[in-house]
Structure 1
Amino acid sequence: MSTYARAGSLQGPPAAGLFQGRRIVVVSDADAVPSAPLQAQLGPREAGQEDTLTVIALPLAFDGTPPVIGTIAASNSVTPPPSVLAVDGAGEYAYVVETLGPRGPDAHLLTELEAGSTIRAYDIGDAAKPQLLYAYPAGHMPQAVSLHPGGGLLALACGDVFAILGPDPYPSLRLVPIGPNGFGDGAVLVPHAEDGAPTVPSYVEWHPGGELLAVCYPWRDEVRLYAAHRTPELWIEPVGPPIRTGRFPFLGWFTPDGRHFLTVDVLWGRDAADGEPSEGRLSVLRIDPDTGAGEKIGEAGVGRNPGGLAVSPDGRHVVTSNLRMSHLAWGDPRLDRQGSLSLLTFDPASGRLTAVDEELFDGLRPEGVAFDADGKFVVVTVFDHLDLVHRRGQLRFFEVSGEGGAPRLRPTYYSIEVMRGPHTIVVV
């Protein structure tokens, strides 16, 4: 079991208020380095470094009071979007999908790992002592997991999005029941394009109403909706035509009222390996949950190479984490030691999305991002730092400040160190 997590403060005055909620839950891929998804290189082997699930009890004060933190080993991978973790609303259970298998003694590259095919359930009711409950087959290389708003049913998007392990992606969408005695038998759908070819999903999320799923297909620049049926048994039904987005919608997020779905369009293509990311964009899709119809109604620019996305609980603020050039190899002269957060305002009535701020900060590959329960603070993961002596991951905290007009992101000068490689975070 890993025990590597501690709170710390950066130079500056502490923020007023509390980071509200029940739990912060984060997963770290300690085998990888920030450039691993781009160059397939695994990181150095170091004693005490292992893939980890970290649980932090909330509320959290910024005055130096030590938070309650617990950790447990949890195999995971940074190669998918920051969507390999789901947590129930009460903060009692966490679910982690394994995209690539554990690192063997002779593995130095992502391509030398086995395909992952497992989802694991953890009891996090006691934040200081998370426990593994059970595991279940989850398809080939699961990329994302989403828990039904009412609990009891998990949706998974599976397949080798970037052909890491070979030309056959083995894509699937899955529904997996979960109860007090473990996982149950679920439903499987292999998604196909109009020409009949299999198409690989990168992300799945339940609609807040619990009847529909939104699924991102980045190589086709589209989102598709599916109905989840429970009678006479579990099954998945495509609903409505594909909804066009910007280029390469890697992940998305429903607004709280369910009327809109936002996608992170990272603008990658077949030449993404050149390491020259563009300014990212968000697409705004208007969704009719009754008919399953949808259309793109707007977009907005964000920082360079966006990695994560979150919408505030009231649906009026949106934040993206942006890798910029911090995901490149250490020897690359283009490597940037800073990432950024983009803050946008959102009008739930019109669907208008407006960029208002971008805050830069030190840290490599900032990817997972989340609001607190009140929408007043934001937390972002930092995968690693340019520090050969002290290799660690970090959670950085920012305040959403409305002083002086338009909202801005203000650093709190507070951080929590976690196992190297944090990339997916959930706040409940």
Structure 2
Amino acid sequence: MNGPVLTAATLAITFSLAAPQSMQAAEGAQAASEILGRISASRIAVISDGDFVARTYGTAELAPQNAGYRDLLTIMSPAGDKIVTGSIPVSNSVTSAPEILALSEDGQTAFVTERLGERPEGGNRISDLPPGRRLFAVDLSDGAALRLSDTVEIEAFPEALSLSPDGESVAVVSNTPEASFVQIVAYRDGRFSRLARFDLADLGVTGSEPAPRGGVTATNVHWHPSGRFLAVNIDTQNRVAFFEVTGADDAPILRPWGNVVEVGADPFVGRFTPDGRHYLTANWGRNFTATSLEGRIPQTPSTISVIRLADPATSPQSARHDLLGGAETGLSSEGIAISPDGRLVATVNMRGTAFPPGSARFHRDASVTLLSFDPATGAISRLADYPFEGSLPEGGAFDRTGDHFLATVFQGHDGARPEAGSGLEVFRVAKGDRPALKRLGRVPLPHGVHHVDLAP
């Protein structure tokens, strides 16, 4: 974790990790470079899990040791007519929500957390992986030579993180066997400092189920654009709780902001809209009582819920948030993204790609669902689904102009073409009266890609 894996200056060298050296690979690298050259971003950050393969969810067996996969953070930065790229080992886990990576607004720092820790020598099964306990900050100031800035220990099993709008605080949710926590870690001048920890039970989020933490599991945390509030998704209870953040940056205080809102089943992730007037949740719809992959993963479409937020000027005690409605998306959606103008929403849908090819529920194609959103009224409407080949797509993001959408692909299917393997599936956003996505192609990357974030 002390130095970069790559110090090359061109994107093609990164691609050599994902594809064999050949004329075809070189042509693919050039095509991918041209695709990335269209993206409006100063940095593109991608996180990859090297411990899991697609079948791990069904077999509990980790990737073969001899596969050579690694937990990696990869950064791609436009530099004239080239893309400067670099990678560094950073422990992470695909078992978390696709919210364990965030870039600072200036593109100089990446933050990553690990739900499960690094694979021990001889570890072959999920049960061999230790609890994750770390939050990392990575210095990106030299585009190719990435450097670990700092690490701080947090509560075990961190599930998601969010960076405050001013870039000086990282909020993280963790679910230990005893409690669910919101943690706020101050970050200045390349170093973590004070860590404030809040037990959700002490903030009124409790459960009475005969399960760990009374059945409370927090899977998402997100800062309001104002920096005043946090949203926390409790997916096992189909609820979202909101909190006001007060006090100094290095000694924050949390208190409930208005009512807890019931939403659709299994609100795995969520986002505030850019104007701060609404909060949207992507509801996966899993059955948490099931003991098998077939029983847990739903056969009905996932959904989105839209919450209209209370007026920030209202006192926290009297603030009232309202569930407006929602829309259906694709099967097994995980990631959600909102365009910079707040008028488009996209979910990344695994569909049946998590199942083995012999299963009746196996799908070779995943999909992106594109929806229109009215920032004034909160009305949301499904526009279309866009299929693409690959296993376990999770995270997604619009670029800074909203002209492109990027979806992660964890791995390709057995025997897949190199251009259908692990990487970023890139779409152009056709705007107008009825927006649509136009596929540009795939940027190949090392195995295990599961989230992406962009800096303006």
**CA displacement, residues 300-343 of structure 1 (integer Å, 9 cap, x when unaligned):** 11111101110000000111100000112355343212100000
- Larger deviation: 120-129 or 224-233? 224-233
Q: Are residue 307 (structure 1) and residue 364 (structure 2) matched? A: no
Number of equivalenced pairs: 414
Q: Are residue 329 (structure 1) and residue 345 (structure 2) matched? A: no
Q: Spell out the pairing of 1:49-128 with structure 2 (5 A cutoff).
A: 49-58=69-78, 66-128=82-144
Corresponding residue to 1:398 among 397, 417, 427: 427
Letter in 2 for 1:87: L
**CA displacement, residues 247-279 of structure 1 (integer Å, 9 cap, x when unaligned):** 110000110000000000111122453244421
Stretches of structure 2 that go unaligned for 5 or more consecutive residues are: 7-12, 16-25
2:54–2:392 Cα contact (<8 Å) kept: yes
Q: Spell out the pairing of 1:202-213 with structure 2 (5 A cutoff).
A: 202-213=219-230
C-alpha distance in 1 between matches for 2:206 and 2:377: 32
**CA displacement, residues 155-214 of structure 1 (integer Å, 9 cap, x when unaligned):** 001115xxxxxxx25421101001115111221111123567652211000000001000
Q: Spell out the pairing of 1:251-266 with structure 2 (5 A cutoff).
A: 251-266=269-284
If each structure's strand is expressed as a fraction of its own residues, which one has the higher value? 1
Shift, 1:41, TM fit: 2.9
**Residues 98 and 195 of structure 1, relative CA distance in 2, 3 Å threshold:** closer
- Larger deviation: 282-291 or 382-391? 382-391
Shift, 1:385, TM fit: 0.6
C-alpha distance in 2 between matches for 1:246 and 1:47: 39
**Residues 290 and 157 of structure 1, relative CA distance in 2, 3 Å threshold:** farther
Letter in 1 for 2:227: G
Q: Secondary structure at the match of 2:127?
A: helix
Shift, 1:9, TM fit: 6.5
**CA displacement, residues 357-407 of structure 1 (integer Å, 9 cap, x when unaligned):** 11001111111100011001001111001135869521111011136x411
**Residues 330 and 75 of structure 1, relative CA distance in 2, 3 Å threshold:** farther
**Residues 322 and 180 of structure 1, relative CA distance in 2, 3 Å threshold:** same
Q: Spell out the pairing of 1:23-422 with structure 2 (5 A cutoff).
A: 23-37=43-57, 39-46=59-66, 48-58=68-78, 66-159=82-175, 168=177, 170-192=179-201, 193-194=205-206, 199-231=216-248, 233-271=251-289, 273=293, 274=295, 275-288=297-310, 289-291=312-314, 292-387=319-414, 393-402=422-431, 405-413=433-441, 415-422=442-449
Stretches of structure 1 that go unaligned for 5 or more consecutive residues are: 161-167
1:21–1:59 Cα contact (<8 Å) kept: no
> Could you tell me the percent identity over the aligned residues?
31
2:413–2:421 Cα contact (<8 Å) kept: no
Letter in 2 for 1:226: F
Letter in 1 for 2:407: V
C-alpha distance in 2 between matches for 1:219 and 1:344: 25
Please report the TM-score for the alignment, with normalisation by the length of structure 2: 0.85
1:266–1:278 Cα contact (<8 Å) kept: no
4+ runs of 1 displaced by more than 6 Å?
9-12, 14-17
1:51–1:76 Cα contact (<8 Å) kept: yes
Shift, 1:246, TM fit: 0.5
C-alpha distance in 2 between matches for 1:87 and 1:16: 18
Shift, 1:16, TM fit: 11
Letter in 1 for 2:70: E
C-alpha distance in 1 between matches for 2:306 and 2:30: 36
If each structure's helix is expressed as a fraction of its own residues, which one has the higher value? 2
**Residues 11 and 92 of structure 1, relative CA distance in 2, 3 Å threshold:** closer
C-alpha distance in 1 between matches for 2:61 and 2:5: 23
Q: Secondary structure at the match of 2:194?
A: coil
1:163 maps to which residue? none
**Residues 183 and 369 of structure 1, relative CA distance in 2, 3 Å threshold:** same
Q: Secondary structure at the match of 1:78?
A: coil
Q: What is the root-mean-square deviation of aligned Cα atoms in Å? A: 2.5
**Residues 16 and 77 of structure 1, relative CA distance in 2, 3 Å threshold:** closer
1:340–1:359 Cα contact (<8 Å) kept: yes
C-alpha distance in 1 between matches for 2:404 and 2:42: 14
Please report the TM-score for the alignment, with normalisation by the length of structure 1: 0.90
C-alpha distance in 2 between matches for 1:151 and 1:317: 25
